[in-house]
Amino acid sequence: MQLYLCSLVFLLILAEYASITTFTADVDPSLRRHLRCVNSAAVLTPLSLNVVSQISSRFANTLVTSVLENKSPRNQEAKFVVQIPETAFISNFSMVVNEKHYIGKVKEKNAARNEYEKAKKKSKNTGLVSSTESEQALRGMDVFDIAINVAPNSRAEFRLNYQQLLVRRKGYYEQAISIRPKQIVPVLKVVVDIEEPQSLSYVDVMKIRKSPSEAAVEGNSLAAVTNVSPTSVHIDYNPSEDEQGETGVHGDFIIR
């Protein structure tokens, strides 16, 4: 399945038309320097980043959603880097624009990219998810580039759904969710529901791990764990802007 995704990409062509300018939403040091040179009214504002994961019998279904606001009078293109476990596969990519839901289609990589570029030249709103080789890739993770266009003076929500079978080792299994917006997000939330056929002996939420080379450390004080029943657990992680630190959350949210 991993090789299959490397040769195929998700493509979204939206019906609305607007002029397009290029904007990179991924915030790194070089981008911060660039942002100081542009009008703040032309910047796409990240309003929220939400991750909802449902685990049942070690099978995890995870939905990542993010809402962006375009305050400029022109259409803006946003580019994201999303990392998911290499054992997972993307099952769906979609966008919600002006209360309309658009579902991505899987196409051969080169064909999808060519169609995406043609749509941009015709001033169409469009979206693209593609696997990429990147120096940003962490051990055990696959990197995907996401490009979407947001209509002027409007909001857009992108949704990425992936699934994976969690492997049990040494009597337990763990789920690692990459949270690396590289900036403070007004609403940042992770919700995980675990349901197993047998009683859960324990569920721990680790501190945010900045690198897979680091050991996972117990004790994430910002995560609330609720034992719903002997076989089910509900987890909430919702740090405020102050709790996200000066540069935002950057690491893996791990449940074990």
CA distances from 119 to 95, 124, 127 (A): 16, 5, 10
pTM over 0.85: no
The residue assigned the tokens 């690396």 is 180
The residue assigned the tokens 């995980």 is 192
String of b and e for 6-41 (b: at least 16 CB within 10 Å)? eebbbbbbbeeebebeebbbbbeeeeeeeeeeeeee
Distance from the first to the final alpha carbon of the chain: 25
Q: Which DSSP symbol is given to 243?
A: T
Number of Cα atoms under 13 Å in the Cβ half of residue 209 = 21
For the chain, what is the domain count? 1
Residue 245 maps to which CATH number? 2.60.40
- Give residue 152's pLDDT: 74
Tell me: the pLDDT tens digits for 6-17?
Answer: 334 556 544 333
The range of the structural domain enclosing residue 16 comes to 2-255
- Give residue 23's pLDDT: 22
φ, ψ dihedrals at 40, nearest 5°: -60, -25
Residue numbers of the chain with a pLDDT score lower than 50: 1-8, 13-42, 136
